[in-house]
Structure 1
Amino acid sequence: MIIDIHNVSWEQNNNKILEQISWKVNEGEHWCLLGLNGSGKTTLLNMINGYIWPSEGSMEVLGKKFGEFDLRELRKSIGWVSTSLQQKLYGSETALKIVLSGKFATIGLYDQTDSADMIQAEELMRTLGCTALMERTYNTLSQGEKQRVLIARALMATPKLLILDEPCTGLDVFAREQLLQMIAAVAGEQNAPTIIYVTHHVEEILPCFAKTLLIKKGKVFAANDTSEVLTSALMSDFFGVPVHIEKRNSRNWITVEGDLWN
């Protein structure tokens, strides 16, 4: 079991941010976590990574039960790509050093690397289309290039779980599609980590994400096969406004049919 969350709640200042969340992710499954802004997605991710503790309920991640295992060690087996991480990295470092730092889960490269590390980093960057970026400093990269470098960094430690937190934020449509194609390629690798893809855009849910969790106002709205979740009827209930889901080229596209103004 990659993630086993049972009746977890979390509150802050007497305000429940997450309420009675239960969610199981099996090895080899790739999930999409879908929710609007303020739904509790980021709080749930922080909890999975061990940065905050459940107020109620029990959690196991990668077979490690919270309260019985050093969560700093757990994080070494989790790759996490997020906008907040982008802002913490040193812009003057080369893309190659950024990727190498992923082996140690550090901001900045301070530990000694060897030739095997270098070969692994270069291979990851080649696979993800970053070869030409190796010696460029991070602050000169486009948003799409930064995201590819961050994914290479996350894979450097050979994680069992890879969390992609809204990786397409700030990308134009061409950069978005390029990044999504790259993510599909990573998911298709024989020894791919379990991937959790976080978004609030239905059209970003790739065919490889066969499972989808909908979270709304801190509660699980649905957790099932993506084909069962992404229906016009269920998504209309989820968004609280009539929408139409249309499948084109193995992707789902949403059209709002209700009146949002009144």
Structure 2
Amino acid sequence: MKKVNIQQAEFLLNQKNRLKIPHFQIQQGDFWVVVGSNGSGKTAFSLVVEGKIPVYSGQYENTFSNIQQFSFEKQQKILEQTFRDRNNDCISPDDFGKTARQTILNGSDHHQLCQQYAEILGITPLLDRPFMHLSTGESRKILLAQTLVQQPDLLILDEPFEGLDQKSVQDWQSLLDILSKQTTLLLIINRFNDIPPTAKQIALLERCELVLQGNRTEVEQHSIFQQLHYAENAIDVPLPESASPVQKLDQNTPHFELENVTIQYADKIILDKLTWTVLPRQHWWIKGPNGAGKSTLLSIITGDHPQSYSNIVRLFGRQRGTGESIWQIKSNIGYVSSQLHMDYRVNCSVLDVIISGFFDSIGVYQRTPDALRVKAMQWLERINLANLAKKPFRSLSWGQQRLLLITRAMVKYPPVLILDEPLQGLDGLNRALVKNFIDQLVQNSATQLLFVSHQDQDAPQCITHIFEFVPKENGYQYVQTAV
């Protein structure tokens, strides 16, 4: 039986990135769907299966004889070439280039196959029209027919739905049902909703690693798959209303102002004349290598650092040390870090983790009003974990635990939410889960986000500004940019 078999393999994409595939096998007659977000390595994966990227380590075996790939990029290149061919003084204004039929045949004599696939794809009326006059959806079907007349025994379709309206996507899914009965299919997409009903196997890519795969039924029963699928449709779903009046800050006053702040211990300078202003409605990504001073910066803006008093540090409009209490500062801030996660050792229920956010406690040690329990359940429903409400916190995946702790920090709608390395310690699947939820929180609330990470791939899409510690000869410079 024909197959592509990949085992414990890495594929070198560039100097920094490798595509990791623990194991993957596509056999004759399979219909695989690979789902991944932008930058997850989907296109590289298709090239790996096709044999276009050599294996760096591990095993790659292929016994298919004719692998063909269809992609949005391929369509763009052909369209661009068509327009370049016409941009010639020797071409008559009435010459519109190749017809759709000529494009499909591409110099071959497969006229019968051309007619056959034109009927299957519903493009017979288009065959004698100029290719360049066709719509995006029509031209894509013509190019698919061009690929099919080459009679592939493995057809890879890389993002075939990109740029198509919903009706066209549904038409394509029906076509794939027909094609899956004739050849082996590998479909690569970025949306769960685009998975065709007839697909037999599903795999997930995240951060250039195949993180989940198998029979469709088994994969769809995976709790994190269900949450990721839910998250795709929940980006605009409102968050539960606050159980108490939401604390609001002056939207005309900077939330944080640091002027020439210097922090040092003996001769060691940690922060050197750092100036930074954080205005309302800005969502900042604080990035930099380990040891650069990110944690020190956070301790200043959360009111914890003792040297703040000897610097110009204004938090929520007040100079540090002018009578405000540490609790007044912290009441404006929700804070989640890997350290908090490690410290949350109380093995209470999932529901109690959310309830503890209303009391700013680790665990619940007092009678909870029914209204708060109802509100906590609403939050669990919003993150698709209501069915786990009675489960022990420690029985959940690490990513689901992190998701709960972020939700716990949000139940009182803090004006500022600080997430300090929130994806640290998470595998690819759980990273995707938490990142999606962070974007949902920001989109559906007035809370301002300060996101801390030194990994370039970690930042959520909602970021508006970047504060970066950039190494220089002696210490770091502080580069601030709007996204």
Of 425, 433, 437, 1:170 maps to 425
Please say if residues 355 and 376 of structure 2, whose CA atoms lie closer than 8 Å, have aligned partners that are also in contact: yes
Q: Say whether 1:67 aligns with 2:324.
A: no
RMSD: 1.9
Equivalence for 2:446:
192
Q: TM-score, normalised by structure 2?
A: 0.44
Equivalence for 1:80:
335
Please say if residues 40 and 216 of structure 1, whose CA atoms lie closer than 8 Å, have aligned partners that are also in contact: no
Greater shift, 69-78 or 129-138, is seen at 129-138
Please say if residues 356 and 364 of structure 2, whose CA atoms lie closer than 8 Å, have aligned partners that are also in contact: yes
Give runs of aligned pairs for residues 17-56 of structure 1, distance below 5 A. 17-54=270-307, 56=310
Equivalence for 2:480:
223
**Paired AA for residue 209 in structure 1:** I
Of 210, 216, 227, 2:464 maps to 210
Q: Say whether 1:58 aligns with 2:312.
A: yes
**Paired AA for residue 468 in structure 2:** L
Q: Say whether 1:102 aligns with 2:375.
A: no
The 1:62/1:120 distance shift into structure 2, 3 A limit, reads: farther
CA distance in 1: counterparts of 2:264 and 2:388, whole angstroms = 43
The 1:112/1:211 distance shift into structure 2, 3 A limit, reads: same
Please say if residues 8 and 57 of structure 1, whose CA atoms lie closer than 8 Å, have aligned partners that are also in contact: yes
Of 381, 398, 406, 1:143 maps to 398
Q: Say whether 1:128 aligns with 2:377.
A: no
CA distance in 2: counterparts of 1:50 and 1:112, whole angstroms = 31
Equivalence for 2:413:
158
CA distance in 2: counterparts of 1:9 and 1:95, whole angstroms = 42
The 1:26/1:134 distance shift into structure 2, 3 A limit, reads: same
CA distance in 1: counterparts of 2:477 and 2:311, whole angstroms = 15
Equivalence for 2:264:
11
Task: Return 5+ residue gaps in structure 1 as ranges.
Answer: 227-262
**Paired AA for residue 222 in structure 1:** V
**Paired AA for residue 299 in structure 2:** N
CA distance in 1: counterparts of 2:470 and 2:419, whole angstroms = 19
Higher radius of gyration, 1 or 2: 2
The 1:58/1:115 distance shift into structure 2, 3 A limit, reads: farther
Please say if residues 346 and 362 of structure 2, whose CA atoms lie closer than 8 Å, have aligned partners that are also in contact: no
Moved over 6 A (4+): none
CA offset at residue 12 of structure 1? Answer: 2.5
May I ask how many residue pairs the two structures share in their alignment?
Answer: 225
CA distance in 2: counterparts of 1:64 and 1:113, whole angstroms = 35
**Paired AA for residue 35 in structure 1:** G
1:106-159, CA deviations, whole angstroms, 9 ceiling, x for partnerless residues? Answer: 223234432332233222222223323322222222110111010111012220
CA distance in 2: counterparts of 1:62 and 1:113, whole angstroms = 31
Task: Return 5+ residue gaps in structure 2 as ranges.
Answer: 1-253
CA distance in 2: counterparts of 1:63 and 1:137, whole angstroms = 41
Q: TM-score, normalised by structure 1?
A: 0.79
Please say if residues 470 and 479 of structure 2, whose CA atoms lie closer than 8 Å, have aligned partners that are also in contact: no
The 1:65/1:128 distance shift into structure 2, 3 A limit, reads: farther
Please say if residues 5 and 60 of structure 1, whose CA atoms lie closer than 8 Å, have aligned partners that are also in contact: yes
